[in-house]
Structure 1
């Protein structure tokens, strides 16, 4: 009987890392699992080429500078239609092998800032011209929340005013701790910035209830970062895929060894090479024989749709 050579997790990581390299991401000196997680984080920023439902905060339109109104609405239209947001990201966004270049606002609270230029830079045409005013959004798989336009000089990166604005508009995006009435140590906005750089989570934030003005304690749902700074949500997503592929690999190997029909097909071969294959247009992924292209498994779930 043929020996089954299959490494679905390695195939997945190779495809993800190769995709990252093909779009110019800097991944040198990262092991495959960490490189994969950071590519997942990057793809979550760019929008995954998927159309999005747009949800505006109550005072979003008032925050738009008059001179940049056309730029903002043009960018919103691109977000809605699933256009790649890479040109509007920070230039550090493609440097994934340097922890000092982390976007801690995104990694911690899931809030992404976008530049509002219209023309591409002459020296670096991958990015549009940088602007002082920035669009702050909260991107999800199928929707994007438009928070506000802030100026770069406002230095809001670690300020809880952002979380306050999220609560005032979409309290469902936060977890409220009803059993907490105070913290042993008050964490200032400056403290939070230093803690992020040290890899220390300060997940609980004190803000005010917009109805009665009382102090409440909240955290962003399912967010936060690991000790080395990577978003927990992307680590969990990677682990979910790896767990699924590991289980699938055992199922397929058992199917080959136990199925009489498959046994007859491959009994003359010394090795069966099985690979993971993506057909992203049809939202499916497959495990296929590298030589005959026989399909051993097909899944139409959205688990790997982020690779689009």
Structure 2
């Protein structure tokens, strides 16, 4: 009987950590790999897809004159599919949790016109642009201040202008009269810092209240995005499925080796290797790659 060894999850995790290092991100390697990769998923979402976006502005949108130039520069980047990283918080490269983004998927960007001395970040501004990515579109909600991280007005503007963005998160509760308790924004902020997801209530055009879950699916106890945690879990599930596929195709692997006049090792050691822009299965002893998607 042929011995078979593989640990595709660790192979994949190590490749993701390598990618993070190549991007110049700063993080403690002593932290659990799953936690680091979840935060990396959040980082990638914050950077956007670096493709051209259709830009929409709310009816309430109002940018102070002194930040118009910075806003115009940013809009050009979004329109042309450029990199918005210089406009992000400096904490992004340290993979520090952005709790508003993790909770609501609402991103904040600075509106400076010029780069700081480091030439890495745009000069910081007090007022911030709050925006929301969805598919090919980016929705500019309005200009807000630091500490407006739980301001319910942010989501109310989204609903008033683009109800389709909020609709998937509305809870259907017959006879809904309001949340009890309905937390203040300060209380919401403290609960969010504690890793507690808070339901909200907004008003429709008739002034009727309705409840909704956070537009980013909320946060975990660690402060990570539930969306990113689910994405990570999905990736692990797919990788485990690939391991099962390898185990069920050992005869095919051996037949391929025979057809190539390669001696079959007494122990097969499979690795998940990133090659030619995708992950591939390689047998380490023979260095052969196998396409098992058949």
TM score, norm. by length of structure 1: 0.83
Which position in structure 2 is the counterpart of 1:170? 162
Tell me how far 1:184 sits from its aligned partner. 2.1
1:198 lines up with 2:190 in the alignment: no
Which position in structure 2 is the counterpart of 1:143? 137
Per-residue CA deviation, residues 27-77 of structure 1 (Å, 9 max, x unaligned), is 21211111111111111101243x1432413326x4122333232122122
Per-residue CA deviation, residues 133-160 of structure 1 (Å, 9 max, x unaligned), is 21111124543222122243xx321110
Which position in structure 2 is the counterpart of 1:16? 16
Paired positions, count: 285
Which among 199, 203, 214 is matched to residue 208 of structure 1?
203
Structure 1: gaps of 5 or more residues:
300-308
- Greater Cα offset, 167-176 or 288-297: 288-297
Q: Distance in 2 between matches of 1:36 and 1:195?
A: 24
Q: Distance in 1 between matches of 2:275 and 2:219?
A: 29
Tell me how far 1:278 sits from its aligned partner. 5.0
| Change in 2 beyond 3 A, CA 1:15/1:71 | same
Q: Is the 8 A contact 1:2 1:272 kept in 2?
A: no
RMSD over aligned Cα, in angstroms?
2.5
Which position in structure 1 is the counterpart of 2:241? 247
Q: Distance in 2 between matches of 1:55 and 1:84?
A: 15
Q: Is the 8 A contact 1:45 1:139 kept in 2?
A: no
Q: Distance in 2 between matches of 1:262 and 1:3?
A: 17
Q: Give matches, 1:210-289, under 5 Å.
A: 211-221=205-215, 223-257=217-251, 261-262=255-256, 264=258, 265=260, 267-270=263-266, 271-277=268-274, 279-280=276-277, 284-289=278-283
Q: Distance in 1 between matches of 2:110 and 2:20?
A: 22
Per-residue CA deviation, residues 230-269 of structure 1 (Å, 9 max, x unaligned), is 0000000011111011001110232124555235255433
Tell me how far 1:172 sits from its aligned partner. 2.1
Q: Distance in 2 between matches of 1:197 and 1:128?
A: 27
1:103 lines up with 2:104 in the alignment: no
| Change in 2 beyond 3 A, CA 1:221/1:90 | closer
Q: Distance in 2 between matches of 1:52 and 1:143?
A: 9
Per-residue CA deviation, residues 188-224 of structure 1 (Å, 9 max, x unaligned), is 101100101111111x211211x21122222234510
TM score, norm. by length of structure 2: 0.86
Per-residue CA deviation, residues 109-166 of structure 1 (Å, 9 max, x unaligned), is 01010111232211x43211101221111124543222122243xx321110111011
Q: Secondary structure at the match of 1:119?
A: coil
1:161 lines up with 2:153 in the alignment: yes
Per-residue CA deviation, residues 68-126 of structure 1 (Å, 9 max, x unaligned), is 32321221222233323221111112223xxxx5311101101010111232211x432
| Change in 2 beyond 3 A, CA 1:237/1:247 | same
Q: Secondary structure at the match of 2:213?
A: strand
Tell me how far 1:4 sits from its aligned partner. 4.0
Q: Secondary structure at the match of 2:31?
A: coil
Q: Is the 8 A contact 1:47 1:82 kept in 2?
A: no
| Change in 2 beyond 3 A, CA 1:278/1:38 | farther
| Change in 2 beyond 3 A, CA 1:53/1:22 | same
Q: Distance in 2 between matches of 1:205 and 1:8?
A: 40
**CA radius of gyration, larger in:** 2
Q: Secondary structure at the match of 2:128?
A: strand
| Change in 2 beyond 3 A, CA 1:58/1:140 | closer
Structure 2: gaps of 5 or more residues:
none
Which position in structure 1 is the counterpart of 2:46? 45
